[in-house]
Amino acid sequence: MLRIPCPWCGERDETEFHYRGDASKVRPAADAGLAAFTSYVYERENPCGWHLEWWLHVGGCRRLLKVVRHTLSHEIRSVGGPEDR
Amino acid sequence: MTAGSSRARSRAGLALPLESHVLQAFVSEGIKPVLDVVLTYGAGHFYVSQSDKGGLVFGGAIDGYNSYGQRGTLPMAEEVAAAAVTLLPGLARLRVLRQWGGVMDMTMDGSPIISRTPLEGLIVNGGWCYGGFKAIPAGGLTTAHLIARHAPHPLAAHLDLERFAAGRTVDERGVGPYPYAH
């Protein structure tokens, strides 16, 4: 069971959250072309290590969180809002 | 290529449309024969069969977030147990003997990739999601065809890498490009 420290609600069980995937992908400019959009939508770094990812706190504040989590140890290093890097 | 796909990928300099996720499986204590088939239903992503020793072997969906940790977490164990009892209420008192987690290479559309790549001579067979153990006899045959004849087997032609850029993904659940949702 992951325990995710939501900046607004405090530390909560993972069952309160929905995973929303890789948060390192940035939407390209509208005229960036097919290759850029294919990479944005489909290609993933899939690291064995630290991973920047989205979690939606559906059972709490309903905010989107950006979480830095280790994909092998599942340790959570930092949690912030969508505007954080 | 298996769940370690990302390492093979980084060596080849190829970015692939897949993520690694953990899938749990469970084995119960041995009981008298109750099942002589593999019983499964797609809506709950649950399957169960009985081993020769009498234990029920069962599992369900992936835990739902990127993971290389070969262990599962409890919320999905609870969900799989609930699916088991929903399908077969008589299993409610069965005790689980052991549990483990394996790393699955989940593609963005939930279907495998059997394809040539932009690198001459490099062929990708991976992204088997849940289906590897069941489907790999056909996967091996069609991959051998691709290697020997330099052309995709008709049964696997739609599983090429170009399907993502071309917008003809094979998304059976219709959930979009999210490996954790397949």
Catalogue all structural domains in chain B, each as residue range(s) with its CATH number: 5-17+108-181 (3.50.50.60), 19-107 (3.30.9.10)
Higher pLDDT, B10 or A61: A61
CB contact under 8 A, A19 and B64: yes
Kindly report, residue by residue over B148-163, the tens digit of the pLDDT. Answer: 999 999 999 999 999 9
Most confident region among B18-22, B44-48, B129-133 by mean pLDDT: B18-22
Give chain A positions within 8 Å (CB) of B66. 22, 46, 51, 53, 71
Query: What burial class does residue A42 get, using C-beta atoms within 10 Å of its C-beta: 0-12 exposed, 13-18 middle, 19+ buried?
Result: buried
Q: Which stretch of B18-27, B41-50, B74-83, B94-103 has the lowest confidence by average pLDDT? A: B41-50
Q: What percent of chain A has pLDDT over 70?
A: 100
User: What global pTM score does this model have?
Assistant: 0.89
- Residue B39's contacts (CB-CB under 8 Å, 6 or more residues apart) are B47, B48, B49, B87, B88
Asked whether the predicted pLDDT for residue B101 surpasses 60, the reply is yes
Does B165 reach chain A within 8 Å, measured CB to CB? Answer: yes
Task: Give mean pLDDT, residues B120-132.
Answer: 89
Predicted pLDDT of residue B67:
96
Does A72 reach chain B within 8 Å, measured CB to CB? Answer: yes
* Average pLDDT taken over every residue of chain A: 95
Architecture of domain A3-24+33-80: 2-Layer Sandwich (3.30)
Q: Quickly count: other Cβ atoms within 10 Å of residue B28's Cβ.
A: 20
Give chain B positions within 8 Å (CB) of A69. 65
- Rounded-to-integer distance, Cα B101 and Cα B40, Å: 19
Predicted pLDDT of residue A50:
97
Predicted pLDDT of residue A31:
97
Q: What's the one-letter identity of residue A67?
A: V
* Cβ–Cβ under 8 Å, residues A53 and A20: yes
pLDDT-derived band of residue A19, with 50, 70 and 90 as boundaries? very high
Predicted pLDDT of residue A12:
97
Does A47 reach chain B within 8 Å, measured CB to CB? Answer: yes
Higher pLDDT, B43 or B25: B25
* Closest residue in B to A23 (Cα–Cα): B66
Query: What burial class does residue B100 get, using C-beta atoms within 10 Å of its C-beta: 0-12 exposed, 13-18 middle, 19+ buried?
Result: middle
Asked whether the predicted pLDDT for residue B42 surpasses 90, the reply is no
Predicted pLDDT of residue B43:
77
Identify the CA nearest to B131 among candidates B161, B160, B111, B153: B111
CB contact under 8 A, A71 and B69: yes
ipTM confidence = 0.92
Helix (H) or strand (E) holding B22: strand B18-30
Asked whether the predicted pLDDT for residue A59 surpasses 60, the reply is yes
- Rounded-to-integer distance, Cα B145 and Cα B27, Å: 37
Q: A interface mutation test: which of B66, B73, B170 has the most A CBs within 10 A?
A: B66
Residue showing tokens 């890097």:
A85
User: What is the pairing mode between strands B18-30 and B55-66?
Assistant: antiparallel
Predicted pLDDT of residue A85:
73
Give chain B positions within 8 Å (CB) of A56. none
Residue showing tokens 């169960």:
B48
CB contact under 8 A, A42 and B65: no
